[in-house]
Amino acid sequence: MTDTLDLEAVAVRMREVLGEGPVLALTGAGISTDSGIPDYRGPGSPPRTPMTYQQFVGDPAFRRHYWARNHVGWRHVHRTRPNEGHRALAELEAAGVLSGVITQNVDTLHEMAGSRRVIDLHGRYDRVVCLSCARVIPRGRLDARLTELNPDFADAVADVEVAPDADAVLASTEGFRVADCADCGGMLKPDIVYFGENVPKERVLEGYRLVDEAAALLVAGSSLTVLSGRRFVKRAADQGKPVVILNRGATRADAIATLTVDAGCSPALRALVAAYTG
């Protein structure tokens, strides 16, 4: 484990590489683990097989299974709070160092921590969209309907394993009743980009714009396994901008990074704030 003195030295080095800014942050599930939300691919993470978009829209059994698990899991994520990593990025933005955050997370913890310019690349767990009429509603409103249809279902489940997208691992979802859109009767889906589904083009273009405006890129807590986030690292590197990757374990973009740091996000980002403002 990196001790305090090492972290201070590493943070100084990170600051030297990133420069005076503006620095853009790209974050993944690793920044939220200290808030109690597990990641997908970090060291020690259990194997996960997220549901695909095709499974969700094409099979009522898959859809029932997902909503039952989400009915339990979203409550856990709803109770989580930002950690020192989220707060550190918000402080760097307030200090004028950070220009914004592109996050692959759907937990909304950056906004809760005070970050003002955030692109929720993969959507948000706290919203639900109708695939027919496109109406978006708060997840809490749907929870009331699901609870009415499935009284005591969530309360009867204890000690569940929760995934970063508010999914929960349940032994059985038999008998769970799914709610359709209250306006048109269409299929409801979490406002989250599923595997097999494309990130909306406008979000990608906005992310590219932030990369173009930034002087450096800081990646925090992402293995960069999927292209949706890795593309921004490649764009920054292609423009000759410094790229610092802070993550537990190797990433898919280590070869094009200027500096890689194998450390936890919360202590390292807190040390980085001190390096900039202390």
To the question of whether residue 108 is assigned a binding role by annotation, the answer is: no
To the question of whether residue 31 is assigned a binding role by annotation, the answer is: yes
To the question of whether residue 19 is assigned a binding role by annotation, the answer is: no
Provide the 3-class DSSP secondary structure of residue 56: helix
Beta-sheet pairing, 98-103 with 23-27: parallel
CB contact at 8 A, 78 and 106:
no
To the question of whether residue 42 is assigned a binding role by annotation, the answer is: yes
To the question of whether residue 70 is assigned a binding role by annotation, the answer is: no
To the question of whether residue 28 is assigned a binding role by annotation, the answer is: yes
Which residues have C-beta within 8 Å of that of residue 188, sequence separation ≥ 6?
Answer: 128, 129, 130, 131, 142, 178, 179, 180, 181
Question: Among residues 65, 86, 110, 122, which one is catalytic?
Answer: 122
Provide the 3-class DSSP secondary structure of residue 31: helix
To the question of whether residue 265 is assigned a binding role by annotation, the answer is: yes
Tokens of 246: 């802070």
Residue of 120, 117, 92, 116 whose CA lies nearest to 108: 120
Known catalytic membership, residue 122: yes
To the question of whether residue 164 is assigned a binding role by annotation, the answer is: no
Task: Establish how many alpha carbons lie within 13 A of residue 151's alpha carbon, considering only the half-sphere containing its beta carbon.
Answer: 1
To the question of whether residue 39 is assigned a binding role by annotation, the answer is: yes
Tokens of 35: 């808030």
To the question of whether residue 222 is assigned a binding role by annotation, the answer is: yes
Annotated binding site for Zn(2+): which residue ranges? 130, 133, 181, 184
Annotated binding site for NAD(+): which residue ranges? 28-48, 104-107, 221-223, 247-249, 265
Residues designated as active site:
122
Annotated binding site: which residue ranges? 28-48, 104-107, 130, 133, 181, 184, 221-223, 247-249, 265
